[in-house]
Chain A
Amino acid sequence: MDSGVHQFKSSPAFYLLRIFKLWYIHAYMDLMWVTRDLRNCLIYYLSDVILNIAGVTGTLLLAERFEGIGSWTKFQVVFMLGYGIVASGIVYTFFGYNISHISRRLGRGQLDHTLIQPQPIWMCLLTEGFNPFSSSAIPISGLGLMVWAGAKLSLTLSPGWLAMIALNLVASSAIMLSFSFLWGSLAFWAPRGAEEINSSTNRLMDGLRPFPLDGVAPVLLSSMLTVFPIGFVAWYPCRYLLGLDPRAWGGCITPVAAVIFVALTAFFFMRGLKHYGQTGSQRYLSFGHRR
Chain B
Amino acid sequence: MVKPDRSDTSASDIVVELSGVCKTFRQKQRSERLRDVFRNLFRPTVREVHALRNIDLRIHRGEIVAYAGPNGAGKSTTVKILSSLLVPDAGTARVLGMNTARDRIRYVGRIGVVFGQRTELWWDQPVAASFEWKRVVWDIPRDRYNRMLDFVKELMGLGEFFNSLTRELSLGQRMRADLGLVLMHEPEILFLDEPTIGVDVLAKRNILEFIKDLNRERHVTVMLTSHDMSELEQIAGRIVMINRGQIAFDGDFNRLRREFGARRRLLIETADRSPPDLKGADLIKSEAGRHEYIFDASQVKIPALLEQASIQAQILDVETHQASIDDVIADIYEKWQK
Q: Could you list which residues of chain A lie within 8 angstroms of chain B, going by C-beta atoms?
A: 21-22, 25-26, 28-29, 32-33, 36, 112-113, 115-120, 277-280, 282, 284, 286, 289-291
Contact = CB atoms under 8 A, between A and B. Distances in A.
B83 interface: yes
Interface in B50-64: none
A118 B105 contact: yes
A112 B119 CA distance: 11
B108 A117 contact: yes
B85 interface: yes
Contacts, number: 76
A279 B129 CA distance: 33
B126 A116 contact: no
A33 B126 CA distance: 9
B123 A290 contact: yes
Contacts of B138: 117-118
Nearest to B126: A32
B120 interface: yes
A116 B85 contact: yes
Interface string B83-101: 1111101000000000001
Contacts of B165: 36
12 contacts: A21-B136, A22-B136, A25-B132, A29-B129, A32-B126, A115-B104, A116-B83, A117-B108, A277-B101, A280-B85, A282-B25, A286-B117
A119 B126 contact: no
Given A28-B132, A115-B84, A278-B87, 19 more contacts: A25-B133, A28-B129, A29-B122, A29-B133, A36-B165, A112-B115, A113-B118, A115-B85, A116-B108, A117-B108, A118-B105, A118-B109, A118-B185, A277-B101, A280-B80, A282-B27, A290-B123, A290-B124, A291-B124
Given A33-B125, A278-B87, A119 B137 contact: yes
B119 A32 contact: no
A280 B86 contact: yes
A290 B117 CA distance: 15
B72 to A, nearest CB: 12
Interface of B: 25, 27, 77, 80, 83-87, 89, 101, 104-106, 108-109, 113, 115, 117-120, 122-126, 129, 132-133, 136-139, 165, 185
Contact of B137 (A118, A279, A280): A118
Nearest to A111: B85
A32 B125 contact: yes
Contacts of B115: 112
A291 B25 contact: no
Given A117-B137, A282-B25, A112 B85 contact: yes
Contacts of A282: 25, 27
A284 B77 CA distance: 13
A290 B126 CA distance: 13
A58 to B, nearest CB: 33
B137 A277 contact: no
Nearest to B182: A116
A279 B113 CA distance: 19
B55 to A, nearest CB: 16
A75 to B, nearest CB: 40
A274 to B, nearest CB: 9
B113 A116 contact: yes
A33 B133 CA distance: 14
A223 B320 CA distance: 79
Contacts of A277: 86-87, 101
4 A-B pairs closest in CB distance: A118-B109, A277-B87, A280-B86, A25-B136
A284 B129 contact: no
A17 to B, nearest CB: 11
A44 to B, nearest CB: 12
B118 A284 contact: yes
A119 B85 contact: no
A277 B89 CA distance: 10
Contacts of A290: 122-124
Contacts of B113: 116
A118 B109 CA distance: 5
Contacts of B118: 112-113, 284, 286, 289
A118 B106 contact: yes
A118 B105 CA distance: 4
A10 to B, nearest CB: 11
A173 to B, nearest CB: 24
A26 B83 CA distance: 25
B108 A118 contact: yes
B161 to A, nearest CB: 16
Contacts of A116: 83-85, 108, 113, 120
A142 B272 CA distance: 88
A28 B130 CA distance: 11
Contact of A119 (B101, B105, B122, B123): B105
B90 to A, nearest CB: 12
A22 B109 CA distance: 17
A21 B139 CA distance: 10
Contact of B124 (A26, A36, A112, A120): A36
A117 B165 CA distance: 22
